[in-house]
Structure 1
């Protein structure tokens, strides 16, 4: 690998995003949660937090993460701007 290849790697970020999305889809599939319900869960979480805090809805990120013992966690990352 040349120095330019090292400095201008593009695949790492895209591949990690794709991996994260695939894990999310597979976990919800394993839990038998369809995409419509996934979106509804995300929207309702954002609505509840938006009642009390000014948030950046566009940057909100909701995903599922599984650990080695096959326990799934719903991870919610919503940038907070300020209290309402």
Structure 2
């Protein structure tokens, strides 16, 4: 790590930032939610569409976000259907 990057901080990759944000959201919601479906899922889905659209042209209906409870675990399932790349 250079001295300059120590002072200014290093730019994190967007994937690691998104992962950290998801962990924070899920930890917060896990502590304060009831058994009803969480209200943050539609916003999460819109944000995922926005981020993925920066890199790939996708249809917003091709991303599905679902949260299930399995025993003592909350499982966040994200299904993303990417278009085929013609070569």
Question: Which TM-score band (shorter chain)?
Answer: 0.3 to 0.5
- Structure with greater proportional helix content: 1
Greater relative CO, 1 or 2 (CA 8 Å, sep 6+): 1
TM-score (normalised: structure 2): 0.46
TM-score of the two chains, using structure 1 as the length reference: 0.48
